[in-house]
A and B are shown apart, each in its own frame.
Chain A
Amino acid sequence: MLAVVPFLLAGVAACGGGGAGADGEVAITFVWWGSDGRANLTKQAVDLFQQRNPKIKVQTSFSAYAAYWEKLATQTAGGNAPDVLNMDGRYLAEYGGRNVLADLNQGPGKSISLTDVNPELAATGVYQGKRYAVPWAQNTPAMIYDPAAFTAAGADPANGMTWDQFADATQKVSAASGFSVRGATDFGILDTALEIWLRQQGKQLYTPAGKLGFTADDLRRYWRLAGRFRDAKGVSPADVTSSYNTSPEQSPLGKKLTSSEFAYDNLLPAYKTASGKALSVAPYPGDASGNNGQYRRPAMFLSISARSKAQEAAAKLVDFLINDPDAGRILGTDRGLAPNLKVRAQLAQGATGNDKTLYGYESALEPKLGAAPPVPPKGAGSIQKLLQRTYEEVAFGRMSVDDAVSRFMSEAEKALT
């Protein structure tokens, strides 16, 4: 236990930033989540920012997604929140609703320009009338899939499928490998997939008032749909499904145990690297009318701590990361498409490889993309895990769909109050 002390002290020292030095120098701290590769890109962008603003010193650190939130919560509780921080929609209400984040419509935050950001996308950073965050990237829920496997099964996901066609295709893909590589990762555990499916029927995951936007009956129908895929062995078996973990390297598709998985389009390169296959992106299956329920999703946000003593410098960094063409070039599509439409258009022209696939996919989908849903309520961070473990009870045959649904509904109600 004592071994922790030096780290704690170092942490305190590192977080003491935000003050102005004697010679007008300002130090700010900046944290984000993600992989090493992402960190390299982000540090390059930060270096460029420091070159252009020699009076501002930026101290960076990053961690994996889950660890990031644990660390941020502890730092915030200790009054040592970083000046500039990476924010996720799932936690925006949690932090924003507790006055931890600065309102960027007031004071120095106003210097962050949002004129070139799609207004619907920009609106996703507003919670209860206050701008607690600005979108740092745009992505959209998508199906990552192995074109070779699906083509061999006579399906063409890129042109859109109905759920029935998708069921048929996954069954054939599974059968082609003797059911060792399944057609899709079981989507019963995914709140993203549930959200899209709900939107296709005009419903939503959460209401603007912060309650569940669907009924027990909706969830029952969703899990019955997943059950159809499971019975036909079109989707992964239960023990593979339960190994799912949000990182592409750890997911069934990344481990080559399935041939498709619902995720986000900007994760395509990571999935490709993990699986070593020539994967591609396709829209979600939909209904016959072609309504696919997809939307312009804020992949993640940037926020400024309400307690930051260097709000001006912090706002400058945020503005740079979002609007500067050179920053946009460095950051690429790793987090999703650049939020600034001018920067995005510039980058789209010179795009190659994965980037080209992504720009092509999103521009083809653009006319069909709806507005993002309201900011998820406090407690939304635990709903994904709840969905996952209650569905696992069903997939392993330990619980009936009805029982699992009622457990989900009662626990979700508690989590969201």
Chain B
Amino acid sequence: MTTFRAPDPVVAKVSVPFARRSGRPGGRRRTSRPEAFVFLTPWLLGAVALTVGPMVVSLYLSFTDYDMFTSPKWVGIDNFVRMFTDDDRYLQSVKVTAIYVLVSVPLKLIVSLLVAMLLNSRRGANGFYRAAFYAPSLLGASVAAALVWRALFTGGGPVNELLASLGWHTPSWIDDPKFSLASIVLLGVWQFGAPMVIFLAGLKQIPPELLESASIDGAGALRRFWHITLPMLSPVIFFNLVMEAIHAFQAFTPAFVIGGGRGGPADADLFYTLYLFEVGFQDFKMGYASAMAWVLLAVIAIVTAIVFRTARLWVFYEDAEAR
């Protein structure tokens, strides 16, 4: 399920310009050396045994009725048909996940960019703040962070108290269908560290002379941001957008912990992955769960492809003219 790992900032930084350059081998000649495969063997073994193998099996299972105890029965595309025609909870899980992706990803990118710009504008002493702002994403998908969130947003918890002192009386956020998903979105946004660090690296690469000459020409801060910072940063925004969207589709732990392991009040936190898990491991419908996993993979692939397509319209590469 979680074949994607959190982006390592260093790797990410190096691979940011991957979108356009990858097709060009550059100056080096490609040579194939047999000993390379010797060094690759451990990785290949791992990839085949732990990733490719299970994926092939799950693809097969997605066309079967499989309860994990008795052998799978071939049912063709039944599982896929049932998903869209005879399963209200499936559609609810699609809705919840779509809302989460559409709301949390842009919010997270905006917040991380704002914080990165703030850190970038202060020269001294930002090592500490950078670490402090990055810390929440180290806790990342951890159960601990989600548990803390639960405690914060529960009935009579600190958030309730704070809002009540401002005159806004709210129910227990995590237990009310109106607020529950919002609390999970907030948790996602709070963990903005990874894209922030990447933004920060991107900001540092913008040549200061560009901004300088713009301000000499009389451009205000907003104009400089809009006409220089944003275009120069667009490859980084693109990268972050793709990575965060993929992560958001796969969000599981926060929903599992905050929603009490059952999709929250009245299924308000029934994330796609959570429903998949429930169907497979609690209701013993592993064939159906496998089919769901493949639909998710297809949707992520399609959404990513669409983002890549539109990238031509808004992502600016400095070396584009050089081609």
Does B bind A? Answer: yes
A residues touching B (Cβ–Cβ < 8 Å)? Answer: 1-2, 5, 66, 69-70, 73-74, 76-77, 94-95, 98-100, 237-240, 242-243, 245, 257, 379, 381-382, 385, 388-389, 392-393, 396, 398, 407, 411, 414-415
Given contacts A77-B69, A240-B172, 20 further A-B contacts (CB under 8 A): A1-B50, A69-B281, A69-B282, A70-B282, A73-B68, A73-B284, A74-B281, A98-B69, A99-B70, A237-B171, A239-B171, A242-B266, A245-B260, A381-B283, A385-B262, A389-B263, A389-B265, A389-B267, A393-B266, A396-B176
In the complex, which residues 1-50 of chain B have their Cβ closer than 8 Å to any Cβ of chain A? 2-3, 5, 46, 50
Check B67 for interface membership: any CB of A closer than 8 A: yes
In the complex, which residues 234-284 of chain B have their Cβ closer than 8 Å to any Cβ of chain A? 260-263, 265-267, 281-284
Q: Which of A5, A243, A407 contacts B172 (CB 8 A)?
A: A243
Contact B154 A243 (CB under 8 A): yes
Check B231 for interface membership: any CB of A closer than 8 A: no
Q: A5 vs B54: C-alpha distance in the bound complex, in angstroms?
A: 14
Q: A73 vs B171: C-alpha distance in the bound complex, in angstroms?
A: 37
In the complex, which residues 61-89 of chain B have their Cβ closer than 8 Å to any Cβ of chain A? 67-70, 86, 88-89
Contact A243 B155 (CB under 8 A): yes
Contact A240 B50 (CB under 8 A): no
- Identify the 9 closest CB pairs spanning chains A and B, nearest first: A77-B68, A242-B265, A239-B171, A98-B69, A392-B266, A239-B175, A239-B172, A243-B175, A242-B175
B200 to chain A minimum Cβ distance, whole angstroms, is 28
Check B136 for interface membership: any CB of A closer than 8 A: no
Contact A396 B172 (CB under 8 A): no
Q: A105 vs B265: C-alpha distance in the bound complex, in angstroms?
A: 44
Contact A239 B265 (CB under 8 A): yes
Q: A415 vs B285: C-alpha distance in the bound complex, in angstroms?
A: 11
Contacts of B69 in A (CB 8 A): 76-77, 95, 98-100
Contact A381 B5 (CB under 8 A): no
Given A73-B281, A73-B284, A243-B154: A396 touches B50 (CB 8 Å cut-off):
no
A contact face: mostly helix, strand, loop, or mixed = helix
A180 to chain B minimum Cβ distance, whole angstroms, is 10
Q: A130 vs B284: C-alpha distance in the bound complex, in angstroms?
A: 22
Chain A: CB-nearest residue to B267? A389
B contact face: mostly helix, strand, loop, or mixed = loop
Q: A218 vs B214: C-alpha distance in the bound complex, in angstroms?
A: 75
Given A239-B155, A239-B172, A242-B176: A94 touches B284 (CB 8 Å cut-off):
yes
Contacts of A385 in B (CB 8 A): 262
Chain A: CB-nearest residue to B270? A389
Chain B: CB-nearest residue to A100? B69
Q: Which of A5, A77, A411, A415 contacts B50 (CB 8 A)?
A: A5
Given A5-B50, A73-B68, A77-B68: A396 touches B266 (CB 8 Å cut-off):
yes
Contacts of B86 in A (CB 8 A): 414
Given A98-B67, A389-B263: A238 touches B176 (CB 8 Å cut-off):
yes
Contacts of B67 in A (CB 8 A): 98
Chain A: CB-nearest residue to B179? A239
Q: A100 vs B265: C-alpha distance in the bound complex, in angstroms?
A: 34
Q: A393 vs B262: C-alpha distance in the bound complex, in angstroms?
A: 15
Contacts of A392 in B (CB 8 A): 177, 265-266
Name the residue among A237, A238, A239, A382 with the largest chain B CB count within 10 angstroms.
A239
Contacts of A240 in B (CB 8 A): 155, 172, 175
Q: A379 vs B147: C-alpha distance in the bound complex, in angstroms?
A: 30
Contacts of B174 in A (CB 8 A): 243
Contact B283 A382 (CB under 8 A): yes
Chain B: CB-nearest residue to A245? B260
B10 to chain A minimum Cβ distance, whole angstroms, is 19
B280 to chain A minimum Cβ distance, whole angstroms, is 9
Contact B266 A398 (CB under 8 A): yes
Can you list 22 residue pairs at the A/B interface with Cβ under 8 Å?
A1-B5, A69-B281, A74-B68, A74-B281, A95-B69, A98-B67, A99-B69, A238-B265, A239-B175, A242-B265, A243-B172, A243-B175, A243-B260, A381-B282, A382-B282, A389-B262, A389-B265, A389-B266, A392-B177, A393-B266, A396-B176, A396-B266
Name the residue among A242, A393, A396 with the largest chain B CB count within 10 angstroms.
A242
Q: A142 vs B245: C-alpha distance in the bound complex, in angstroms?
A: 48
A316 to chain B minimum Cβ distance, whole angstroms, is 26
Q: A164 vs B124: C-alpha distance in the bound complex, in angstroms?
A: 71
Contacts of B5 in A (CB 8 A): 1
Contacts of B176 in A (CB 8 A): 238-239, 242, 396
Contacts of A95 in B (CB 8 A): 69
Contacts of A379 in B (CB 8 A): 283
Q: A382 vs B46: C-alpha distance in the bound complex, in angstroms?
A: 36
Q: A14 vs B89: C-alpha distance in the bound complex, in angstroms?
A: 37
Q: A114 vs B5: C-alpha distance in the bound complex, in angstroms?
A: 53
Q: A257 vs B155: C-alpha distance in the bound complex, in angstroms?
A: 10
Contacts of B266 in A (CB 8 A): 242, 389, 392-393, 396, 398
Chain B: CB-nearest residue to A250? B260
B271 to chain A minimum Cβ distance, whole angstroms, is 15
A40 to chain B minimum Cβ distance, whole angstroms, is 24
Given A70-B282, A100-B69, A242-B265: A398 touches B177 (CB 8 Å cut-off):
yes
Contacts of A239 in B (CB 8 A): 155, 171-172, 175-176, 265
Contact B155 A396 (CB under 8 A): no
Q: A396 vs B268: C-alpha distance in the bound complex, in angstroms?
A: 12
Q: A73 vs B229: C-alpha distance in the bound complex, in angstroms?
A: 53
Contacts of B284 in A (CB 8 A): 73, 94
Q: A138 vs B189: C-alpha distance in the bound complex, in angstroms?
A: 48
Chain A: CB-nearest residue to B174? A243
Q: A411 vs B281: C-alpha distance in the bound complex, in angstroms?
A: 18
Q: A257 vs B157: C-alpha distance in the bound complex, in angstroms?
A: 14
Contacts of A414 in B (CB 8 A): 86
Contacts of B286 in A (CB 8 A): 77
Contact B2 A1 (CB under 8 A): yes
A245 to chain B minimum Cβ distance, whole angstroms, is 6
Chain A: CB-nearest residue to B89? A411
Chain B: CB-nearest residue to A394? B266
Chain B: CB-nearest residue to A4? B50
Contact A70 B175 (CB under 8 A): no
In the complex, which residues 149-208 of chain B have their Cβ closer than 8 Å to any Cβ of chain A? 154-155, 171-172, 174-177
